[in-house]
Chain A
Amino acid sequence: MSAATATGAKPVKPKKQPTYMKDGRPRSVASIVVMIVLALLWTIPTLGLLVTSFRPREDAATSGWWSAILNPFGAGWTLENYGGVLQGQDMAAGLLNSIVVAVPATILPIMFAAFAAYAFTFLEFPGRDTLFVVIVAVMVVPIQVAFQPMLDLLGPNGIGISGQFVAVWLLHTGFGMPLCLYTLRNYMSTLPTSVVESAKIDGASHYQTFWRLVAPMSMPAIAAFATLQFLWVWNDLLIAKLFLNPSNTTIIVQLQQLLGTQGQGEELVQAGAFISIIIPVLVFFALQRFFVRGLTSGAVKG
């Protein structure tokens, strides 16, 4: 915020002649004002969560979170809510479960999809276009179609892994596969084919070409997909709710259950929400560079 307001403070004085930015473009006061307003609008709800999560129960139940901001020294602050949800609501376990679910489920689809994307990009074979059309089509299919058949298949009447982490890894791997394949294939098709051809002339097998050349070169797209898939898996409610035992359940499901509990203090709910949000936000900002590049260059075709 400070940077945006700093740029916004200067150009207010001169009205007629526009000032210029470092790169020589005229400074647009209107744009600065609009963006500050939008940034505020987009941030205020989250700010409410952050503030409420640090307020004592009495205060949160009787006054708005903004009153604590307007009078920060008169208001009470506490860390108790975090202790309350982590231990009392067992969210520490949920947090661990979320990590145990999300990390493998992010990584597992990549290897399978990468080999398939390599075949789609660099190999000629009958049925190639038809098979890729299947991928494009399947990306649109709602995952709800899978619930009942997969509950039968993975449940006690099937192979009996429903409720365990493995079931959720498997499902997220399957559901993430079409998008992963699509993203990697689009990115790989921007790589120079001459590299692959020269490797072939040197006598490298496709397996070697994939490992030594194509996989390392595709890292930006892999990172972009991994970010997306991590967010998706971490933030998923349905699959975790249906396919995990209560003891294995993720923090998102716990938060949903906390929300459904009548008379639960808002300050506890908000503290729980903050804990569930902070890891994906950190991952997102850490990998944002890859993510934006992956999205804008080839990962999704414009």
Chain B
Amino acid sequence: MTAAVAAPPGATRGGSPARPLRMLIGIVGVAVVAWLTINLFLSVAWFPGVYFHSRPLMAVVGMIAGLGGAALLFYFANIFVESLPQRLAQGLIPYVFLLPAFGMITLMLLYPTVQTVNYSFANNDSTQYVGLANYSAIFRSEEFWLSITNNLLWLLIVPAVTVAIGVAVALFADRLSTQGEKVAKSFIFLPMAISFVGAATIWRLVYNLDADTGLLNAIITGFGGEAQDWLRFSTARLNSLLMMVILIWLQVGFAMILLSGAIKGVPEETLEAARLDGANERQIFFRVVIPQIRGTILTVFITVLILVLKVFDIVYVLTNGQARSNVIANMFFQELFTAQRAGQASAIVVVLLVLVLPVLFYQVRTFRQENR
């Protein structure tokens, strides 16, 4: 860090417009800053003793190294680019600004995607190619098809229900007084801040099999029914449905925020015009409001859809896929860490990737249309 800070005085000393010097300062600066930042980060990992094993200190060092490193890196890169002939500089500067962000995306998302596809054709130590063996193994596995069916159920139910409740909440909240709306909405979106694990913990109290301590069983026995072990109740996939309730409970707040904004943005004149034409409230809602907030509905739907495809924590914590409740992401985890079958685990991720592809194409297409 200190050496990097010491570099700029050199820049002012050589203040003359001599461009080769600025170019040199830029290159040396970038190299020194990059070297120092990387080493600072590695030192936090490798030699915690240097930081007296103090975690807060490591966090502070990490932030300073990251933010300071990034700022100085761009600073020196800027000096370097500006020392070049103007036309070259103008052409180069956008790529310089993009490079670090794209470097990270390449390292942590693009390269691993390619590598995972690669691993999916290899054995469990990734030392030898085994052709399609991993795929044929998972396609022959009953658990895999069970997980796929469950995932499809989650996909069919959760986004649609979340959007429907979100619209309803936004609509009703819109008719409250300003203060009432604010308070009511806070209650709905409080769960947004809760982790999946925390939510599973909370809902465990509801689904507890003990009729004395489980809320759902207490209600059912109260009405003369019989207490059930809900999370193991696999008839009609009831346990999966009950876990979907948790995810919906978490996500409605997000849906409500976006949809409420959209509903408030619907021009009053269009509603007036519909009323003058004699439309009732129901017709106004379905024929006037819904078409105008269609874009937002799709955004919310897609966002929840992507989330649902990767649903893992809730299932992992509550049933770990037992009682016919497994999903793809949980099966991946089981294969990779419990069964230590890296090859099949990779094949499962590739299947997940393929399932995501239609959403990906849709997103890209929408983006292209919006930015034409």
Min CB distance, A89 to chain B, in Å?
A: 13
Note all chain A residues with C-beta closer than 8 A to B332: 144
Min CB distance, B242 to chain A, in Å?
A: 12
Do A296 and B261 touch across chains, with their CB atoms under 8 A apart? yes
Do B197 and A252 touch across chains, with their CB atoms under 8 A apart? yes
Q: Once the chains are docked, how many angstroms separate the CA of A120 from the CA of B101?
A: 12
Given the interface pairs A107-B67, A116-B98, A277-B195, the reply to whether A61 lies near B213 with Cβ below 8 Å is yes
Do A111 and B317 touch across chains, with their CB atoms under 8 A apart? no
Q: Once the chains are docked, how many angstroms separate the CA of A1 from the CA of B187?
A: 8
Q: Once the chains are docked, how many angstroms separate the CA of A231 from the CA of B41?
A: 24
Q: Once the chains are docked, how many angstroms separate the CA of A218 from the CA of B110?
A: 28
Q: In the complex, which residue of chain A has the Cβ closest to the Cβ of B70?
A: A111
Total chain A interface residues with beta-carbon distance under 8 A:
125
Do B169 and A38 touch across chains, with their CB atoms under 8 A apart? yes
Given the interface pairs A7-B180, A136-B364, the reply to whether A145 lies near B98 with Cβ below 8 Å is no
Min CB distance, A205 to chain B, in Å?
A: 6
Min CB distance, B281 to chain A, in Å?
A: 11
CB contacts between A and B, total, < 8 Å: 360
Do B368 and A277 touch across chains, with their CB atoms under 8 A apart? no
Q: Which of B16-24, B74-82, B137-145, B230-238 contacts A (4 or more CB under 8 A)?
A: B74-82
- Contact string against B for A residues 195-234, beta-carbon threshold 8 Å, 1 for contact and 0 otherwise: 0000000000111000000000000000000000001001
Q: In the complex, which residue of chain B has the Cβ closest to the Cβ of A166?
A: B45
Do A64 and B352 touch across chains, with their CB atoms under 8 A apart? no
Min CB distance, B35 to chain A, in Å?
A: 15
Do B187 and A42 touch across chains, with their CB atoms under 8 A apart? yes
Q: Once the chains are docked, how many angstroms separate the CA of A32 from the CA of B113?
A: 49
Do B205 and A35 touch across chains, with their CB atoms under 8 A apart? no
Do B172 and A35 touch across chains, with their CB atoms under 8 A apart? yes
Note all chain B residues with C-beta closer than 8 A to A236: 195
Q: Once the chains are docked, how many angstroms separate the CA of A145 from the CA of B118?
A: 11
Note all chain B residues with C-beta closer than 8 A to A79: none
Give the contacts of A79-138 with B (CB-CB under 8 A).
96-97, 99-100, 103-104, 107-109, 111-113, 115-116, 118-120, 123-125, 128-129, 131-138
Q: Once the chains are docked, how many angstroms separate the CA of A65 from the CA of B346?
A: 44
The answer to the question of B5 belonging to the interface, with a C-beta cut-off of 8 Å to chain A, is no
Note all chain A residues with C-beta closer than 8 A to B293: 302
Q: In the complex, which residue of chain A has the Cβ closest to the Cβ of B208?
A: A266
Given the interface pairs A49-B202, A150-B108, A266-B213, the reply to whether A140 lies near B67 with Cβ below 8 Å is no
Do B198 and A136 touch across chains, with their CB atoms under 8 A apart? no
Do A133 and B367 touch across chains, with their CB atoms under 8 A apart? yes
The answer to the question of B1 belonging to the interface, with a C-beta cut-off of 8 Å to chain A, is no
Could you tell me the dominant secondary structure of chain A's interface residues?
helix
- Contact string against A for B residues 195-239, beta-carbon threshold 8 Å, 1 for contact and 0 otherwise: 111101111111010001111001000000000000000000000
Query: Most A CB atoms within 10 A — which of B70, B184, B261?
Result: B184
Note all chain A residues with C-beta closer than 8 A to B56: 96, 99-100
A52: contacting residue among B75, B205, B317, CB under 8 A: B205
Given the interface pairs A137-B363, A169-B62, A255-B201, the reply to whether A161 lies near B193 with Cβ below 8 Å is no
Query: Most A CB atoms within 10 A — which of B178, B195, B306, B368?
Result: B195
Do A32 and B205 touch across chains, with their CB atoms under 8 A apart? no
Given the interface pairs A63-B213, A237-B313, A259-B204, the reply to whether A177 lies near B257 with Cβ below 8 Å is no
Give the contacts of A25-43 with B (CB-CB under 8 A).
25, 27-28, 30-32, 34-36, 38-39, 42-43
Selected A-B contacts with CB under 8 Å, 17 pairs? A4-B183, A21-B177, A44-B215, A104-B59, A119-B94, A123-B97, A133-B364, A133-B368, A137-B364, A174-B107, A235-B196, A238-B312, A238-B313, A255-B197, A259-B204, A302-B258, A302-B262
Residues of A whose CB lies within 8 Å of any CB of B are 1, 3-4, 7, 21-23, 25, 27-28, 30-32, 34-36, 38-39, 42-46, 48-49, 52, 60-66, 96-97, 99-100, 103-104, 107-109, 111-113, 115-116, 118-120, 123-125, 128-129, 131-150, 152, 159-161, 164-167, 169-171, 173-175, 177-178, 181, 205-207, 231, 234-238, 242, 252, 255-256, 259-260, 266, 269-270, 272-273, 276-277, 280-281, 283-285, 292, 295-296, 300-302
